[in-house]
Amino acid sequence: MSEVFLERARQGDDEAFTRLVEPLRRELHAHCYRMLGSTHDADDALQDTLIKAWRKLGSFEGRSSLRAWLYTVATRACLDIAETRGKRAMPMDIGPASEHTVLDQSALEIAWLEPYPDQRYEQREGVELAFVAALQHLPGNQRAALVLFEVLKFSAAEIAEIMDTSTASVNSALARARKIIAERAPTRSEQQGDASLKDIVAKYSSALARGDADALVALLTEDVTWSMPPLPAWYSGIDAVMGHAIKVPFTCGSWQHVAISANGQPAVAGYLDGQAWSINVFTMRGDRIAAITSFIGPEHFRQFELPASLQ
């Protein structure tokens, strides 16, 4: 049946083209996010991919699968966007951790990493926050090679064709990329059972709502970090993190939280005095939170199809 749709699409049938690409849209969007670290940039890259694929479909000779061909178009679209828009950063990339709570902060004009709405994509680790953040430290060709090989399971020969290079170049890029990723993301968020994660999320939400320092401490590792892009300050270690929590979140207003999932990790959408404030993504180690990343700004809520207000 796909061959019928392919032939119709080549003849200019846009409905047939949609039928062909729709099953791949979600995974192509996730690929674009990994490459670019931004849901907005991923939206642009996917749109560019589909437009180019529609225009160039006549050149698809069927030597590879349609999926592989679409990943070729998507990867090249992402590399073009990455070259013009630059890399996405996290507060850890800007400066060292703050030892004391920084109250007077201004948002920096930096292209920050963005959270990704969890879509139950089968490769959870492929959109995990630490992994995507580490990818931003790779040159475009290494980033593409690593994602295509490690996450999407293309062979080195297939990647060489996608990237219009040699297999030897792909293997070299992979070796360099793996070294950097090992340094930047040595550990990943550990998967917990659904019941355990729901309990942790509920306890975090309750602790912030009640301003209960002891309850929050019980959820955190000793070396926990807390970052809040677009604010540059970030905190490392239980003392610094709790110092921040006591002086800021515990005192700034009334909190309500909605349990969600982001980047394949447990998360909560935080509403301050009923207004959308931050998407908080938890990196787990065992049954404790090893990192809290609070993406501040109501614009993130739209990506998760959440209301801007609970009032």
Give the per-residue pLDDT at 188. 61
Same domain, 91 and 174: yes
* pLDDT for 276: 97
pLDDT of amino acid 190? 60
> CATH code at 228?
3.10.450.50
The pLDDT value recorded for residue 123 is: 47
Residues 177 and 301 in one domain: no
pLDDT value of position 121:
38
**How buried is 238 (Cβ within 10 angstroms: 0-12 exposed, 13-18 middle, 19+ buried)?**
middle
User: What is the reported pLDDT for 17?
Assistant: 84
Give CA–CA dist 157/147, Å, rounded. 14
Give the pLDDT confidence score for residue 64 in this predicted structure: 78
140 and 219 both lie in a single domain: no
Find the DSSP H helices in the chain: 2-10, 14-36, 39-56, 66-85, 91-94, 129-135, 140-146, 156-163, 167-184, 194-210, 213-217, 238-247, 299-303
Q: Are residues 106 and 162 in the same domain?
A: no
**Closest to 226 measured CA to CA, from 262, 278, 264, 261:** 278
Global pTM reads 0.91
**Which residue has tokens 């929050």?**
216
The pLDDT tens digits for 4-35 are 777 777 777 788 888 888 899 999 999 999 99
Q: Which domain holds residue 48?
A: 1-98+136-183
Position 119 scores a pLDDT of 58
The CATH number of the domain where 77 resides is what? 1.20.140.160
One digit per residue, pLDDT tens: the chain, 311 residues? 477 777 777 777 788 888 888 899 999 999 999 999 999 999 999 999 999 998 888 778 777 788 999 999 999 999 999 999 888 999 999 999 998 888 777 777 899 999 999 755 344 568 999 999 999 999 999 999 999 999 999 999 999 999 999 999 999 999 999 999 998 876 666 655 566 788 999 999 999 999 999 999 999 999 999 999 999 999 999 999 999 999 999 999 999 999 999 998 999 999 999 999 999 999 999 889 999 999 999 999 999 999 999 97
Q: List, edge to edge, every strand of the sheet that includes 265-272.
A: 231-236, 220-228, 288-296, 275-285, 265-272, 255-262
Number of domains in the chain: 2
